[in-house]
Amino acid sequence: MWQGWTNGIIGIWMFIAAFLNFSSTGNMWNDIIVGVVAAVAGFAMVKEKPWQGWLTGLVGIWLIIAAFIPSLVVGVGNEWNAIITGILLMVGGFGALGESTPTTHTPAHSH
């Protein structure tokens, strides 16, 4: 399932990005927390997807909102990073909810 791997990798990126921007402490902690949550939920989504898909989708929404909170994002680069990764997490998380897992159906017996 590509969404799980993608969201997990995006989570790792957010964790790393927290240490690359050298900006406000609020932004650093926001990126660390979002990165860990997205990575764990994303990689867990490879096997299951209901709660992990919702969680990564909601984390994506939070990142987009956080991009417009001045105390969390300092600089245009941080803002665009939050918006783009937020959109990707939303697409991967909510997109995984629409996929159905193959199930085996037993044929009904007719008399």
Domains and CATH numbers, the chain: 2-98 (1.20.1270)
pLDDT digits (tens, 9 = 90+) for 27-86: 777 778 888 888 888 777 766 667 777 888 888 888 888 888 877 767 777 788 888 888
Burial class for 39, CB neighbours closer than 10 Å (0-12, 13-18, 19+): buried
Higher pLDDT, 24 or 57: 57
Structure-model confidence comparison of residues 91 and 99, the more confident one: 91
**pLDDT value, residue 60:** 87
Does position 101 have pLDDT exceeding 80, yes or no?
no
3-state helix, strand, coil in the chain (%, to 5): 70, 0, 30
1-to-23, 28, 39, 93 alpha-carbon distances in Å: 35, 30, 15, 11
pLDDT confidence tier of residue 103, bands split at 50, 70 and 90: very low
Global pTM reads: 0.67
The pLDDT score that the predictor gives to residue 16 is 81
